[in-house]
Amino acid sequence: MLRRFRVEGHSMEPCFRWGDRVLVERWSFTKRWPREGEVVAVRHPFRRERVLIKRVACVWEDGQCFVIGENPSDSHDSRHFGAVQREDVIGRVWFRY
């Protein structure tokens, strides 16, 4: 249950740079909600074909996540589109290469 993604953009710098590849594991969130501080892959709420890599800033009781980029001046995140629904969280970034 691992998926590979490539980082595009500067929103997560300096933690993740354009061109980095990440492995996203999906099994953690089958038994629990994402936690604040975890880096996750999420579907963009309005452009469903896009996957975003962001850090969880806040989790509500119903599982909605407020996600933000590490580089606020160059990040399109929950400050622009609101909280991400639980079903749009693909998984936790597990490994970068």
Please report the pLDDT score of residue 36 as a whole number. Answer: 97
pTM here? 0.91
Residues 28-48 have pLDDT tens digits of: 888 899 999 999 999 998 998
Token pair belonging to 27:
């099994």
Residues 62-97 have pLDDT tens digits of: 889 999 999 999 999 999 999 999 999 999 999 999
Q: Work out whether strand 89-96 and strand 65-68 pair parallel, antiparallel, or are unpaired.
A: unpaired
pLDDT of 17 > 90? The answer is yes
Mean per-residue pLDDT, 2-23? 96
Domains of the chain: residue spans and CATH: 2-96 (2.10.109.10)
Please report the pLDDT score of residue 70 as a whole number. Answer: 97
Residue 20 CA to residue 27 CA, distance in Å, equals 22
Token pair belonging to 50:
């896009």
- Residues serving a catalytic function are 11, 54
